[in-house]
Amino acid sequence: MVKINLSPSRELKKIREKIRKGEFQEHTRGVCPNHVPTNVVILPKDLAFDFLKFCAYNPKPFPLLDVTDVGDPMSLTVAPGADLRTDVPKYRVIQKGEVEEPVTNIRDYWRDDFVGFILGCSLGFEKPLLDAGVPLRIRDEGKLAPTYVTNIPCEKSGSLKGNHVVSMRPIPSELVSRTVSVTLQYPLTHGSPMHIGAPKEIGIDLDNPEVGERITLRSNEVPVFWACGATSLQVAKESKPEIMITHDPGCMFITNLRVNALRWSSRQTFRGKFSSI
């Protein structure tokens, strides 16, 4: 009988407590590096089928870790003890495509017809990359991977549409192959890159990120692009649903799952969760 480790580490308990109180409102990179950080999307039930189909159609930006029951802000599967209304450092509420100022909890927004979607995040494969000897310069420099809106539309589902957003990391050219090899082992954290090199081909000007700082590539570096959970923000802007709530970029929902549990895994419930693909 498979049983994966869902007990929160002492570190996780501590930071979750702080986040809940609104005392931690920063980016979560490097916070509890053994725990899986995730994207969160919250939508009314009316849109839940279309969004779930959107995830199925576009699993690279939307690798699904859990869907909560209608009205339930908890996920026993990936984050027992956590509350989706309070345990993200900063949220973005988007009403009819208008992105509001960040808030530190969504208690006042929560509705009985809300469904929560918990989705893998590329920060989850940074530790495996480092462990495999792939340096992440932007991490060393304390920067977030810059994100860009591509010219590549997602496959539509009902009224939901939007172009793919990608995150970029500069990788030394001799390590690009290894970078693909490592990240494809983690399909639930966006998996292998969507695009390597040639940013213009996908409509990207490296000097103008959507979020994050501009990074000057060194001569031996190749820009490597991964599908990004921030695609959901783009979807909200383009599709203008009545309401969508998501995390502020970089301020992820930290789950009880361990990163190692996701290696070669699909969300799978054969007595445990996240068994092998």
* Binding region for a second copy (CB under 8 A): 48-49, 52-53, 55-60, 64, 67, 152, 154-155, 164, 184, 187, 191-192, 194, 227, 264, 266-271, 275-277
User: Which CB atom, from 26 or from 184, has the smaller least distance to a second copy?
Assistant: 184
Q: How far is the CB of 202 from a second copy (least distance, A)?
A: 9
Q: How far is the CB of 147 from a second copy (least distance, A)?
A: 16
CA angle 167, 172, 174 (to 5 degrees): 125
Q: How far apart are CA 34 and CA 226, in angstroms?
A: 21
Going through the chain in order, the beta strands assigned E by DSSP cover 35-44, 64-67, 91-95, 98-99, 114-120, 147-153, 163-172, 195-196, 221-227, 243-247, 253-258
User: Which CB atom, from 49 or from 197, has the smaller least distance to a second copy?
Assistant: 49
Q: How far apart are CA 199 and CA 223, in angstroms?
A: 8
Q: How far is the CB of 221 from a second copy (least distance, A)?
A: 22
* Closest alpha carbon to 35 in 17, 8, 15: 8
Q: How far apart are CA 120 and CA 118, in angstroms?
A: 7
Q: How far is the CB of 253 from a second copy (least distance, A)?
A: 18
User: Which CB atom, from 77 or from 105, has the smaller least distance to a second copy?
Assistant: 77
Q: How far is the CB of 74 from a second copy (least distance, A)?
A: 15
User: Which CB atom, from 190 or from 247, has the smaller least distance to a second copy?
Assistant: 190
User: Which CB atom, from 200 or from 271, has the smaller least distance to a second copy?
Assistant: 271
Q: How far apart are CA 75 and CA 257, in angstroms?
A: 11
